[in-house]
């Protein structure tokens, strides 16, 4: 990660904290029924002002500039929608979009199902804390660290040499020939997806496990008295009771998956037909010297994330109305 990337991350973190503090302050200010004096508004402006500056300078202005940049070429000449046409017509760019769709379909689905199954079967069992900690542990590893670990798992050495990759070591032990896992398309895409699933399953398990414990025991007991089996109780009582948590898990993992960059960059650098939108955005903007194409991919990424965020907000709002 470059110095510019680190500075950008720092600005995002500081800006996020400042915005959060500003929102909380605004809510508390207007909830307070006491009469407001001019001095109170001055204090409010003093606290909210820096957050608004960071919001405009660190989020709104870059977003507008990136969107505008998507309509220019590398020399600064306007090209209309040419960069977007490239993204949806060139074979390599289309392969990138297809890979991104595969990621965003498989990772949230598999991670949520695996996390939910683990939460249900391990719940209230002996050694529950240990087993849940074991699954949650990958969440403590950065995407770059996870990519390096799994790159060793998929490592390839030519026939006759000692295999340091776990997967090829197993294949050779059973009499097979070593495989270049990360160079075999489209298998390599699914092997990269497995890394993301390995990380996100722990997150899904923790959130859904807490939600399951919040389902009223009276509802489960009533369903049991009605003669339902365990599967029916799970589908008709547990799942509706944790619907809000399921939405949060699926949407959170979906957004993280759409933005995945570190795993792909660390393990294959997007080669061998494994690139995704975030990686290709970086490649075009900083490697191929095509900032307009990189900006167009950034806009496409934003458009892909936006419906997920809107859906999440609507579900949470509907649940509040029911309550």
**What string of DSSP letters covers 296-310?**
HHHHHHHHHHHHHHH
Question: Is the pLDDT assigned to residue 16 strictly greater than 90?
Answer: no
pLDDT for 135: 87
Question: Is the pLDDT assigned to residue 34 strictly greater than 80?
Answer: no
Q: Phi then psi for 303, rounded to 5 degrees?
A: -65, -35
pTM score of the predicted model: 0.80
Q: What is the mean pLDDT of residues 135-163?
A: 89
Highest mean pLDDT: which range of 9-23, 26-40, 302-316: 302-316
Question: Is the pLDDT assigned to residue 142 strictly greater than 70?
Answer: yes
Cβ–Cβ under 8 Å, residues 141 and 199: yes
Task: Measure the CA–CA gap between 282 and 232, rounded to whole angstroms.
Answer: 48
pLDDT for 134: 86
pLDDT for 26: 56
Structure tokens at 15: 């800006």
Cβ–Cβ under 8 Å, residues 100 and 258: yes
Closest CA relative to residue 120, chosen from 210, 221, 199: 210
Question: Is the pLDDT assigned to residue 10 strictly greater than 80?
Answer: no
Question: Is the pLDDT assigned to residue 190 strictly greater than 80?
Answer: yes
pLDDT band at 183 (very low <50, low <70, confident <90, very high): very high
CA distances from 166 to 181, 266, 309 (A): 12, 18, 39
Residue 154 neighbours by CB distance under 10 Å? 23
Q: Phi then psi for 72, rounded to 5 degrees?
A: -130, 160
Four-residue CA torsion sign, 32, 38, 43, 47: positive
Q: What is the mean pLDDT of residues 111-121?
A: 91
Q: What is the mean pLDDT of residues 209-226?
A: 86
Q: What is the mean pLDDT of residues 106-132?
A: 87
Place of tokens 């969440």: 139
Mean pLDDT, the chain, rounded, equals: 83
pLDDT for 23: 60
Superfamily of domain 76-322: MetI-like (1.10.3720.10)
Query: 3-class DSSP state for residue 144?
Result: helix
Question: Is the pLDDT assigned to residue 289 strictly greater than 60?
Answer: yes
Question: Is the pLDDT assigned to residue 76 strictly greater than 90?
Answer: no
Rg (CA), the chain: 24
Q: Phi then psi for 163, rounded to 5 degrees?
A: -90, 115
CA distances from 5 to 1, 110, 136, 138 (A): 6, 31, 27, 24
Q: Phi then psi for 78, rounded to 5 degrees?
A: -65, 135
The secondary structure element, H or E, covering residue 47 is helix 38-55
**Percent of the chain residues past pLDDT 70, beyond the cut:** 84
| Domain ranges within the chain, ordered by starting residue | 1-69, 76-322
């Amino acid at each position: 990660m470059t110095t510019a990337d680190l500075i950008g991350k720092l600005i995002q973190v500081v800006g996020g904290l400042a915005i959060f503090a500003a929102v909380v302050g605004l809510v508390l200010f207007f909830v307070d029924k006491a009469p407001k004096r001019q001095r109170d508004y001055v204090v409010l402006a003093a606290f909210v002002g820096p957050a608004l500056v960071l919001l405009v300078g660190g989020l709104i202005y870059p977003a507008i500039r990136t969107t505008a940049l998507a309509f220019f070429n590398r020399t600064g000449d306007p090209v209309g929608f040419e960069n977007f046409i490239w993204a949806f017509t060139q074979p390599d760019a289309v392969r990138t979009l297809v890979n991104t769709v595969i990621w965003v379909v498989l990772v949230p689905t598999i991670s949520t199902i695996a996390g939910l199954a683990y939460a249900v079967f391990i719940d209230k069992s002996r050694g529950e804390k240990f087993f849940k900690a074991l699954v949650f542990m990958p969440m403590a590893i950065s995407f770059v660290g996870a990519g390096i670990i799994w790159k060793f798992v998929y490592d390839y050495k030519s026939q006759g040499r000692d295999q340091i990759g776990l997967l090829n070591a197993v294949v050779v032990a059973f009499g097979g020939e070593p495989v270049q896992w990360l160079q075999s398309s489209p298998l390599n895409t699914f092997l990269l997806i497995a890394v993301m699933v390995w990380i996100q399953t722990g997150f899904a398990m923790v959130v859904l496990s807490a939600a399951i414990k919040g389902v009223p025991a009276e509802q489960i007991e009533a369903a049991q008295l009605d003669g339902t089996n365990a599967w029916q109780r799970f589908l008709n009582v547990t799942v509706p009771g944790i619907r809000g948590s399921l939405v949060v898990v699926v949407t959170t993992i979906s957004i993280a998956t759409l933005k995945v960059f570190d795993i792909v960059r660390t393990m294959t650098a997007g080669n061998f037909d494994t690139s995704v939108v975030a990686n290709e955005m970086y490649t075009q903007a900083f490697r191929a010297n095509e900032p307009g194409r990189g900006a167009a991919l950034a806009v496409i990424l934003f458009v892909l994330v936006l419906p997920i965020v809107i859906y999440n907000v609507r579900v949470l709002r509907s649940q509040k109305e029911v309550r």
